[in-house]
Structure 1
C-alpha cells in the first residue's frame, strides 16, 4: 500500500515485468477521480508494454473485466 494526494490517498501498486497495475478508490478529496465512471467505487489502472498487451487483454477478458478507457 502507498499513499498519494495525487491519487486520492491510499492505493496499491504492483510492477510486474509486463507493466504496472494501480488499484485505487474512485475518490479524489470527495469528488470522483474519474468523473465519467463515478458509479465505480474502485479503479484498476493497467499499463502494459506493447508486446504484452494482447496477452494481458485476454487475461482481463477471462476474468470478466472490461477495458473502459485507453490513452493513446
Structure 2
C-alpha cells in the first residue's frame, strides 16, 4: 500500500489490486494504491513481494513516485 498525492487510474497501474481515492472537503487530494486485496500483505510471501515490486517499477517508469528527500 502506498499513498500518492494527485490522481492515477487503474490503466496506469494495472497490477494494483485496488485504488482508493482520498477526498478532503469534496476534493480528491490523493490516492492509496493497494497491492493485495484478498489477503493481508506479507513480506514473507514471494508473490506479494513480486507484486509490490512490479507496482513500484511501473510507478517509477511513469515518473509517478514523489522524489525521496
TM-score range, shorter chain: 0.3 to 0.5
Q: Which has the larger radius of gyration?
A: 1
Greater share of helix = 2
Bigger relative CO (Cα 8 Å, ≥ 6 apart): 2
**Bigger fraction of residues in strand:** 1
With normalisation by structure 2, the TM-score equals 0.42
